[in-house]
């Protein structure tokens, strides 16, 4: 009887459209069989992600899998012409994870399954190399024990190091048969000691245990952490790809490597990569041996090199994206084991997109979707100042671009702890492992003494946008003593180190970092994005410098100017405090006069920089107590001046009295926003007068006529808005400015009631700007500062939320409120301008939602403007592709994390 669910697919039975079922690796292997043929792709089969999900749900193997796997093994044996466990001519297989979204190094893999004391002899006879057979036996024992049984890798490395030391050799491939046999015995004894059972010799049992281990690795801490950082859902599961082994460790005409269809650092149209002779794939990616550059394959194996370059071009053209390919050479014959869209830094992604269009490979909208918008800010990160000479302590492989400096730390835990304390650190390791992922996220940069551009450190750093220098052979890392040495120089934990991931340079000098220069490829991509997107992109800018920076990055206006930030400088804060401590309105008005010209100057500067583009100025929003010192500080000050300065005593006592009078149990839900304007109208009147005078001054100077928008914050009731709007219009009229002609008045929508009453509020508003930071707090009942401190970390760990709702919009909750407000507001006023000015305005996933519900603009921090421009374009392209069911839509989506 047929099984109700098909859990196993041969490579020949799938295609890349089945990525959700077969995982990225399995779907691409299936596709490659059709593109390259079975001669280039070793045969195998994929156990689906559905099997993994069922496994996790049931806590056991799902019904049918126990029959389907042996049937697939039988078909694989027929294709390979060998049998698993055959003592004369054994079939060896690998089992590799393969999630829907690439998670390099986070899930488990086991190679050389099927080898045991009976088959090792047959493998030696068939290959003609006893050393190769015992090396494969050693590799299996080490990998199986570490991955499946969870035996710490360092225990195996200690045994391996001891044998190499006694043999007087440096590298694994220099060990002879006798040493390898001794290692196998040591590894088997270690397995028995650690598990209480012998190392499994039955190939079927080996495979069954490995499948369970790969499925279980989906729930492992490192995979969970990676998914949390990259926004990958927990319920996707991983596939398992079982494939006939081909061997790169058969001698000098064999090897393994990783190749990119273009330069993975710059995107330039020249293939690149790393490889090793006489090695299996894990030797290349583990970083335990320093690799050779791909060009160095051309002289010893010219036909293989030529074939590989041709295959890279074929796969890139077929998949429509830059490819990352794993290959093995077995006795001069080339095999392709995997291809995937290459993880690359933003500079390479931008260069590829532009070149792909010029080469006719992709159309503009399609090319833009190959760029992960959130990573564009990598191009805006600093580099070493070229005008500042420094001495390079050492050089390594330029593995992930950008420069960083900070205190050296030698463990992921130390990096995380330092980040929590607000310290910048560089994570220094001999080579990194999957368990270091939390440290990657916490560190400013990564330095390793071993590995190459395809090492774990390099791949993860590029994926996370962290600068990385790998393979710095001159650097000796001693993690136990928490120090590194380069010759006679010793750098201990906590001491300064700086790295440049674009050049590979390492120094212990405090080199200044300079901002990046935007190149022609970056500009081209953003020009294309501007042609496609519907959403305007504005910037949050509180100073003329912010406004100038925003313009240089393509902002189309200021979506949020926070006037309170103008009051916080040392020369202005005393004037603000003098206003606040004044008990009488008349005294407050007199003191506000001193602030008016300062505010006017700020507004003039911003309006001039924006040259006629819209500028939305938010009236004072935070509670007044935020401008006053804490009570404890004032009390300490009072004790210090008592008996010395009677005037200071009186002033401090008045300040303490005012702080106590203004204090509230919950100030963020107290006297702030428009409530300030209702209770202290003179404050808003001064600000409006300053705005109007600034706008008139700019106009009178023959500069571009300003487009001023006055935004009233924290409105709950339509009457609040009506009262303050009338006052704004009245003050403006006194200054010779007319609403509708010289300025507009709107509100910041940041409370649930305002969303529900949007129709009533819209009658008094020319525009709505959704303040998603406060709207998220008020809708979820979460204080952002408190939640980010300890609540959300637990919620993320327990998967109550997949991402912080303060980073990416909570679409089902907060998003539903915004969508309601959009519909109700425009029902009353169809021409109502709608935008977003919270941090979500620079988040690509949130931007996709804002585009979907028909907002007019987003506003974000200046350095997020390019991100928002590209994300807004990709939102349009994906929406159109989904509506038209364009064939490449699914592939484009697969290149961007969920």
Q: Which helix (H) or strand (E) holds 383?
A: strand 383-384
List the one residue out of 532, 540, 528 whose CA is nearest residue 858.
540
Residue tagged active-site, from 468, 561, 755, 837 = 837
* Cβ–Cβ under 8 Å, residues 346 and 378: yes
Query: In terms of Cα–Cα distance, which of 525, 185, 164 is closest to 375?
Result: 525
8 A C-beta contact, residue 373 and residue 844: yes
CA gap 83, 78 in Å, rounded = 8
Kind plus residue range of the DSSP H or E element containing 337: strand 333-341
b/e per residue, 11-50, with b = 16+ CB within 10 A?
bbebebebbbbbbbbbbbbbbbbebbeeebbbbbbbbbbb
Q: Looking up tokens 């791949």, which residue turns up?
A: 459
Q: Are 556 and 576 spatial neighbours (Cβ–Cβ below 8 Å)?
A: no
| Rounded CA separation 572/694 (Å) | 19
3-state secondary structure 699-757: HHCCCCCCEEEEEECCCCCHHHHHHHHHHHHHHHHHCCCCECCCEEEEEEECCHHHHHC
The angle, 0 to 180 degrees and rounded to 10, between the axes of the packed helices 130-147 and 119-127 is 140
Gap between the Cα atoms of 187 and 160, Å rounded: 9
CA dist 179 and 166 (Å) reads 9
**Quick check: is 674 catalytic?**
no
Helix (H, G, I), strand (E, B) or coil at 824: helix
Q: Rounded to an integer, what distance in angstroms lies between the CA atom of residue 323 and that of residue 272?
A: 11
CA 334 to chain CA mean position, Å: 34
Residue 531: CB atoms within 10 Å: 10
Nearest 5°: the CA angle 396, 399, 402 is: 100
Sheet holding 292-293, edge to edge: 292-293, 272-277, 255-260, 323-330, 333-341
837 noted as active-site residue? yes
Q: Provide the token pair at 652.
A: 């401090």
Catalytic residue among 305, 456, 625, 895: 456
| CA distance to 17, 236, 254, 721, 847, per residue, from 31 (Å) | 9, 21, 26, 60, 33
Which of 53, 113, 97, 403 shows the shortest CA–CA distance to 222?
Answer: 97
Helices (H) and strands (E) in the chain, counts: 34, 33
Query: What residues contact 650, with CB distance under 8 A and at least 6 apart?
Result: none
C-alpha distances in angstroms, 326 versus 49, 135, 334, 370, 621?
Answer: 22, 21, 11, 21, 56
CA 456 vs CA 339, 445, 446, 464, 632: distances in Å: 17, 14, 11, 12, 50
User: Cα dist. 755→155, 309, 768, 772 in Å?
Assistant: 60, 57, 10, 12
Residue 166 and residue 174 in contact, taking contact as beta carbons nearer than 8 Å: no
Q: Which of 330, 373, 333, 381 is nearest to 349 (CA)?
A: 373
Interatomic CA distance for residues 864 and 867, integer angstroms: 5
Residues annotated as catalytic (active site), given as ranges? 456, 837
């Amino acid at each position: 009887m047929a099984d109700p669910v098909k859990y196993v697919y041969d490579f020949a039975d799938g295609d890349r459209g089945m990525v959700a079922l077969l995982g990225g690796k399995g779907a691409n292997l299936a596709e490659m069989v059709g593109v390259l043929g079975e001669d280039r792709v070793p045969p195998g089969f994929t156990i689906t992600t559905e099997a993994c999900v069922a496994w996790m749900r049931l806590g056991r193997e799902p019904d049918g899998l126990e029959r389907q796997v042996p049937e697939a093994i039988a078909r694989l044996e027929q294709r390979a012409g060998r049998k698993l466990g055959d003592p004369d001519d054994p079939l060896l297989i690998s089992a590799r994870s393969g999630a829907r979204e690439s998670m390099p190094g986070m899930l488990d893999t086991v190679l050389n399954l099927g080898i045991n004391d009976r088959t090792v002899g047959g493998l030696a006879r068939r290959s003609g190399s006893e050393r190769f057979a015992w090396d494969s036996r050693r590799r299996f024992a080490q990998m199986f024990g570490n991955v499946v049984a969870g035996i710490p890798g360092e225990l195996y490395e200690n045994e391996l190091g001891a044998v190499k030391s006694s043999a007087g050799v440096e590298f694994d491939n220099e060990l002879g048969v006798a040493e390898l046999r001794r290692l196998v015995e040591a590894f088997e004894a270690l397995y028995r000691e650690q598990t209480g059972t012998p190392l499994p010799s039955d190939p079927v049992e080996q495979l069954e245990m490995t499948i369970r281990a790969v499925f279980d690795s989906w729930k492992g801490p490192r995979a969970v952490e990676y998914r949390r950082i990259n926004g990958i859902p927990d319920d996707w599961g991983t596939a398992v790809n079982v494939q006939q082994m081909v061997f790169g460790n058969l001698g000098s005409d064999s090897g393994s490597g990783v190749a990119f269809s273009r330069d993975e650092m710059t995107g330039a149209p020249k293939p690149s990569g790393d490889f090793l002779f006489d090695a299996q794939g894990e030797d290349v990616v583990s970083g335990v041996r320093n690799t050779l550059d791909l060009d160095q394959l051309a002289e010893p194996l010219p036909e293989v090199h030529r074939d590989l370059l041709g295959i890279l071009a074929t796969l890139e053209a077929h998949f429509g994206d830059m490819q990352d390919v794993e290959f093995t050479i077995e006795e001069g014959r080339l095999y392709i084991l995997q291809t995937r869209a290459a993880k690359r830094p933003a500079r390479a992604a931008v260069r590829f997109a532009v070149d792909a269009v010029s080469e006719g490979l992709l159309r503009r909208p399609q090319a833009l979707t190959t760029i992960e918008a959130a990573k564009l800010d990598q191009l805006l990160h600093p580099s070493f100042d070229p005008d500042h000479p420094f001495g390079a302590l050492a050089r390594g492989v330029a593995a992930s671009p950008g420069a960083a400096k900070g205190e050296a730390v030698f463990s992921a835990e130390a990096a995380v702890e330092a980040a929590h304390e607000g310290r910048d650190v560089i994570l220094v390791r001999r080579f990194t492992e999957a368990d270091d992922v939390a440290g990657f996220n916490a560190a400013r940069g990564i330095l390793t003494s071993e590995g190459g551009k395809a090492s774990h450190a390099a791949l993860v750093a590029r994926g996370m946008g962290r600068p990385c220098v790998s393979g710095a052979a001159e650097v000796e890392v001693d993690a136990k003593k928490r120090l590194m040495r380069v010759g006679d120089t010793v750098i201990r934990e906590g001491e300064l180190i700086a790295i440049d991931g674009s050049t590979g340079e390492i120094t212990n000098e405090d080199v200044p970092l300079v901002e990046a220069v935007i190149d022609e490829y970056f500009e081209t991509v953003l020009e294309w994005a501007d042609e496609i997107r519907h959403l305007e992109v504005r910037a949050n800018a509180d100073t003329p410098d912010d406004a100038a920076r925003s313009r240089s990055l393509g902002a189309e206006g200021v979506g949020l100017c926070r006037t309170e930030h103008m009051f916080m400088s040392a020369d202005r804060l005393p004037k603000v405090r003098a206003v606040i401590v004044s008990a009488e309105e008349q005294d407050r008005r007199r003191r506000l006069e001193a602030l008016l010209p300062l505010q006017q100057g700020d507004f003039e500067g911003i309006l001039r920089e924006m040259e006629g583009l819209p500028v939305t100025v938010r009236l004072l929003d935070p509670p007044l107590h935020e401008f006053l010192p804490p009570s404890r500080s004032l009390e300490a000050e009072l004790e210090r001046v008592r008996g010395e300065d009677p005037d200071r005593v009186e002033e401090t006592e008045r300040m303490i009295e005012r702080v106590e009078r203004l204090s509230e149990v919950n100030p963020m839900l107290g006297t702030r926003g428009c409530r300030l304007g209702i209770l202290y109208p003179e404050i808003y009147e001064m600000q409006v007068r300053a705005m109007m005078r600034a706008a008139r001054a700019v106009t009178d100077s023959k500069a571009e006529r300003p487009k001023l928008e006055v935004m009233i914050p924290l409105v709950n009731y339509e009457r609040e808005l009506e009262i303050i709007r009338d006052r704004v219009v009245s003050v403006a009229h006194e200054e010779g400015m007319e609403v509708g002609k010289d300025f507009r008045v709107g509100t910041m929508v940041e409370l649930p009631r305002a969303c529900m009453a949007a129709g009533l509020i819209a009658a008094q508003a020319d525009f709505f700007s959704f303040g998603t930071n406060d709207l998220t707090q008020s809708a979820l009942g979460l204080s952002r500062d408190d939640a980010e401190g300890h609540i959300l970390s637990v919620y993320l760990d327990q998967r109550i939320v997949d991402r912080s709702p303060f980073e990416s919009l909570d679409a089902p909750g907060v998003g539903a409120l915004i969508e309601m407000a959009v519909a109700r507001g425009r029902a009353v006023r169809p021409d109502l301008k709608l935008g977003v000015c919270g941090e979500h305005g620079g988040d690509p996933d949130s931007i996709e939602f804002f585009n979907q519900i028909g907002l007019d603009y987003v506003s974000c921090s200046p350095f997020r403007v390019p991100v928002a421009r590209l994300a807004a374009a990709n939102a349009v392209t994906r929406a159109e592709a989904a509506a038209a069911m364009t064939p490449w839509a699914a592939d484009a989506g697969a290149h961007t994390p969920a």
